[in-house]
Amino acid sequence: MSRDPIYLDHAATTPVRSEVFEAMAPFFGPRFGNPSSTHRWGREARAALDEARERVAQCLGAAPDEVCFTSGGTEGDNLAVLGGWRILKAQGKKAVVTSPIEHKAVLQAVHQAAKEGAEERLLRVDATGTVALDDARAKLTPGDLALCSVMWINNETGVIQPIAELAELTKAAGAVFHTDAVQAFGKVEVDARKIPFDFVAVSGHKIGAPKGIGAFFIRRGTALEPLFFGGSQDRGRRPGTENVASAVGLARAMELAIAEREAHWRELEALRNELQAAIVAKIPDATIHGRDAKRAPHILNVSVPGTDSESLLMALDLQGIAASSGSACQSGSVTPSHVLSAMGVRAELANAAIRMSLGSLSTPADVARVAEVFPSLVAKARGLASVG
Amino acid sequence: MSGGVDSSVAAALLVRAGHDVVGVTMKLFHDGGETPDRPCCSLDSVNDARRVAESLGIPHYVLNLQDAFGRDVLQEFVAEYAAGRTPIPCVRCNTFTKFRDLLHTADRIEAPFIATGHYARVADGRLLRGVDDQKDQTYFLWGIERAVLDRMLLPVGAMTKAETREMARELGLLTAEKAESQEICFVPDGDYVKVLERELPADAPALVPGPIVTLDGTVVGTHDGFARYTVGQRRGLPGGHNEPLFVVALRPEDRAVVVGPRDALLGRGLVARGVNWLVGEVPGVGTPLRVRIRHRAALVPGTLLRVEGDEVEVALDTPVQAITPGQSVVFYDGDVVLGGGVIERGKRALPVRAA
């Protein structure tokens, strides 16, 4: 590869920020103690962990006892859906409501709840990729409703979901509301004082903290059954020796994300708009998924008729451009997106989806080069498609 | 790259020769529970292929070809058994999945060649048998489009299996000591009936009881589904006869498994369909050929008796055992693969050339 590679997959993961790395360093070295120990090493670690928890709480508009450290977004989603459901089941509640565009961490947890007796109900998603509020009004009603879980920003399209309204509706129905804010934190304001959600899952590695750490918000008074059993760490809600270094790193990353949020949004939005405009200008029949919805600025999901994501992603990668198709299965092969299907995108177009996600590494030069290379690869692919 | 030793070495040899190589693993099916040590498609195999590619410094991708493979290979596999025939899915996989669909992907990344770990060679636009007689895989390659030969690279075809392994050790490839796979990749534990039971309705004629009859029509027993039998099979037949019985034919019309003595398995000719030629000039009637009717079966001399479109009839100079409908027949001239087809039926008597 003659040129520097271009990373357009920030929605998948981001590099650890230098400030975060520095903040974590002492806890791999001299301050290695176990926060549960009573000696000086333990006390030192405990102090750092408590401080990290306070800072994370501050970032979420929460009290420190409302914050629990997890291994990441998937664990948070599982804790919320299953930990929440198992308590509510015992109270005689039945329905677990979610949307068909959730991350697999929520969808699979909801399926598990269904195996344990829950009744799974899906909210309708409109063609813009937004959960339909009229359907939510019909389904989020008092009675047997246990829990509703809807993601804040969709990881494939960037579409922002009406979380405030959904949380209000759910609370009005006397049920528990969870939101997966993995793509949302650092993009929109996530404040427990302003929106009455019960649970929120945040992931560290999407915002410059390491993989393997996440924050989970549990509103005071909302009951939760733990998924793990062991010691009394994190008030027994998440037993296991705490990941002190990562917790400290997460606190730093969350603070930075909040401080930079508005400027970062404007910067990414300008880059995204430029990239989108260039692609649409050169490929007039390209479909930008979620274009007509309120969208976060870091995700551009585009389908070009007559191409397929699998070979286009290979061709991009061989040109040094890293993008994604949205959802990838374990073996790394591309599978059709459940998000686009739920939006009513026809299979042929869904199978051509390319998700480009911008972030800290993105530059105007990157956008300029992708705006050249992407249309030329599309033209080649379509030339072949028309021949054979 | 299947994650096995042959394709690993093939990739390594190409990298060593200075080619710009892209590694690809085909995801062909999903059998629910991931079984370890499957020849391909399991997570372990994909991971092995990925690690080999990484160690060679080449990019690696997993391609999802499940839909195409299901349509072109798996469905046909099931349909053939249901029709009382014994298919070879590897032939169709090579013809359609590897050397057609995967080639389309190669086009899209502007890769001029497609390389595999097959034991076969290509020279001057002709397909030749692999150097290792024990490993030669041309029996599975007769169906590919002739024009594709110019785009095929088969680096291990010029080596013996032992040399390939030695090369893998020398290169330090983690797949060097990996066990040989002989099974059909999507058939768990070598039990193809499980696949049929999954894919066919429980009351499919091929899976329900029927008569076991001798060549003269005497019913000598019952079986629990003719798809569980294949021509030449001895196991699962009633005993107590003067000489051992073998399956000599499957008759889906009345769900019969036809049995007879070993002699009844001998055939002197065959009719094949779907014939594909891999040489420029299609051999004419009367052309002497060497014929293979089963993987690893000896090559026998024969003569082309009839060529009509994609159907041919062949006389065999020496009788061969268990010519099986659904299996492939491949024609050779020395090391050169002339072409092949799917066996429609065997002929017990020496066929004669039509006037």
Q: What is the pLDDT of residues A353-388, one digit of tens each?
A: 999 999 999 999 999 999 999 999 999 998 876 554
CB contact under 8 Å between A317 and B63, yes or no, is no
CB contact under 8 Å between B46 and A331, yes or no, is yes
Q: Which pLDDT score is estimated for A216?
A: 98
CB contact under 8 Å between A331 and B105, yes or no, is no
Residue B300, chain A, CB below 8 Å: the answer is: no
- Radius of gyration, alpha carbons of chain A: 22
Beta carbons within 10 angstroms of residue B73's beta carbon: 26
b/e string for A357-383 if b means 16 or more Cβ within 10 A?
Answer: bbbeebeeebbebbbebbbebbebbee
CB contact under 8 Å between B108 and A334, yes or no, is no
Q: Which pLDDT score is estimated for A339?
A: 95
CB contact under 8 Å between A314 and B105, yes or no, is yes
Cα end-to-end span (Å), chain A: 29
Positive or negative torsion for Cα A155, A74, A10, B102: negative
Query: Quick check: B186 and B35 in contact, CB under 8 A?
Result: no
Q: What are phi and psi of B307, to 5 degrees?
A: -130, 110
* pLDDT per position as a tens digit, A27-61: 999 999 999 999 999 999 999 999 999 999 999 99
Q: Does B41 qualify as catalytic in the annotation?
A: no
Q: At A134, list the tokens.
A: 């009229």
CA distance B111 to B91: 24
Residue of A nearest to B46 (CA): A331
Residues in B 71-100 with any Cβ partner in A closer than 8 A: none
Contacts of A312 in chain B (CB under 8 A): 108
Interface test with B, best of A309, A318, A333, A373 (most B CBs within 10 A): A333
* pLDDT per position as a tens digit, A118-173: 999 999 999 999 999 999 999 999 999 999 999 999 999 999 999 999 999 999 99
Looking from the CA of B59 toward its CB, the CA atoms found within 13 Å total 18
**Minimal CA separation from A381 to chain B, in Å:** 6
Contacts of A310 in chain B (CB under 8 A): 61, 63-64, 105
CA distance B249 to B234: 12
Q: Which pLDDT score is estimated for A384?
A: 74
- Radius of gyration, alpha carbons of chain B: 21
CA distance A195 to A189: 10
Looking from the CA of A107 toward its CB, the CA atoms found within 13 Å total 10
Q: At A257, list the tokens.
A: 């994300």
CA distance A76 to A68: 9
Cβ-proximal residues to B259 (8 Å cutoff; 6+ apart), any chain: B212, B213, B214, B215, B220, B237, B245, B246, B247, B248
Q: At B34, list the tokens.
A: 């991931």
The yes-or-no verdict on residue A328 having pLDDT over 60 is no
Q: Which of B46, B50, B61 sits opposite A314 (nearest CB)?
A: B61
Which residue is associated with the tokens 């501050």? Answer: A58
Q: Which amino acid is at B273?
A: R
CB contact under 8 Å between A311 and B108, yes or no, is yes
Sheet holding A67-70, edge to edge: A67-70, A214-218, A199-203, A176-180, A145-149, A95-98, A119-122
CA distance A152 to A185: 9
Strand, coil or helix: what is B91?
helix
Query: Quick check: A339 and A327 in contact, CB under 8 A?
Result: yes
Q: A with B: how many residue pairs have Cβ under 8 Å apart?
A: 45
**Minimal CA separation from A6 to chain B, in Å:** 16
* pLDDT per position as a tens digit, A65-100: 999 999 999 999 999 999 999 999 999 999 999 999
CA distance A5 to B293: 52
Q: Which pLDDT score is estimated for A145?
A: 97
CB contact under 8 Å between B50 and A330, yes or no, is no
Strand, coil or helix: what is B262?
helix
Q: Would you list the DSSP string of B209-244?
A: -EEEEETTS-EEEEES-GGG--TT--TTS---SSS-
Q: Which of B22, B59, B107 sits opposite A384 (nearest CB)?
A: B107
CB contact under 8 Å between B104 and A384, yes or no, is yes
Query: Quick check: A218 and A202 in contact, CB under 8 A?
Result: no
CA distance A262 to A56: 19
State the DSSP H helix or E strand holding residue A288, giving kind and residue range, or none if neither: strand A287-288
Burial class (CB in 10 A: 0-12, 13-18, 19+), B219: exposed
Q: Which of B46, B59, B109 sits opposite A311 (nearest CB)?
A: B109
Strands (E) located in chain B = 23-27, 60-64, 114-115, 120-123, 126-129, 152-153, 210-214, 219-223, 246-251, 256-260, 266-277, 288-292, 300-308, 311-321, 328-333, 336-347
CB contact under 8 Å between B108 and A388, yes or no, is no
The yes-or-no verdict on residue A329 having pLDDT over 60 is no
Residue A315, chain B, CB below 8 Å: the answer is: yes
Rounded mean pLDDT for each run of 10 residues along chain B, 355 residues in total: 92 96 90 50 80 95 90 94 94 95 91 96 95 94 96 96 94 83 78 91 94 92 94 84 88 94 92 95 91 93 94 94 95 96 89 63
CA B40 from centre of chain? 16
Contacts of A331 in chain B (CB under 8 A): 27, 43, 46, 62
Residue B110, chain A, CB below 8 Å: the answer is: yes
Cβ-proximal residues to A372 (8 Å cutoff; 6+ apart), any chain: none
**Minimal CA separation from A285 to chain B, in Å:** 20
Q: At A164, list the tokens.
A: 């405030």
Three-class SS of A355-377: EEECCCCCCHHHHHHHHHHHHHH
Q: Which of A310, A315, A388 sits opposite B63 (nearest CB)?
A: A310
Local confidence band at A292 (pLDDT 50, 70, 90 cut-offs): very high
CB contact under 8 Å between B59 and A381, yes or no, is no
Cβ-proximal residues to A203 (8 Å cutoff; 6+ apart), any chain: A72, A73, A76, A182, A185, A214
Give the ipTM of the model, two decimals please. Answer: 0.84
Interface test with B, best of A304, A311, A313, A329 (most B CBs within 10 A): A311
CB contact under 8 Å between B64 and A388, yes or no, is no
Q: Which pLDDT score is estimated for A332?
A: 60
CA distance A374 to A378: 6
Beta carbons within 10 angstroms of residue B228's beta carbon: 18
**Minimal CA separation from A96 to chain B, in Å:** 27
**Minimal CA separation from B81 to chain A, in Å:** 30
CA A115 from centre of chain? 25
DSSP code, position B285: T
Q: Which pLDDT score is estimated for B35?
A: 46
CB contact under 8 Å between B108 and A315, yes or no, is yes
State the DSSP H helix or E strand holding residue A202, giving kind and residue range, or none if neither: strand A199-203
Q: What are phi and psi of A116, to 5 degrees?
A: -95, 15
Q: Would you list the DSSP string of A218-236?
A: E-TT-----SS-SS-GGGG
Which residue is associated with the tokens 């929120």? Answer: A200
Q: Which pLDDT score is estimated for B183?
A: 77
DSSP code, position A278: H
Beta carbons within 10 angstroms of residue B19's beta carbon: 17
* pLDDT per position as a tens digit, A249-283: 999 999 999 999 999 999 999 999 999 999 999 99
Residue of A nearest to B107 (CA): A384
Strand partners, B121: B128
CA distance B160 to B136: 9
Interface test with B, best of A2, A307, A314 (most B CBs within 10 A): A314
Q: Which of B22, B61, B108 sits opposite A381 (nearest CB)?
A: B108
Positive or negative torsion for Cα B343, B345, B349, B353: negative
CA distance A77 to A96: 13
pLDDT more than 70, % of chain A: 96
Contacts of B61 in chain A (CB under 8 A): 310, 314, 317, 332
Residue B108, chain A, CB below 8 Å: the answer is: yes
Q: Which of B43, B64, B109 sits opposite A315 (nearest CB)?
A: B109
Q: At B95, list the tokens.
A: 């013809």
The yes-or-no verdict on residue A1 having pLDDT over 70 is no
**Minimal CA separation from B43 to chain A, in Å:** 6
**What does pTM read for this prediction?**
0.88
CA distance B17 to B156: 13
Residue A348, chain B, CB below 8 Å: the answer is: no
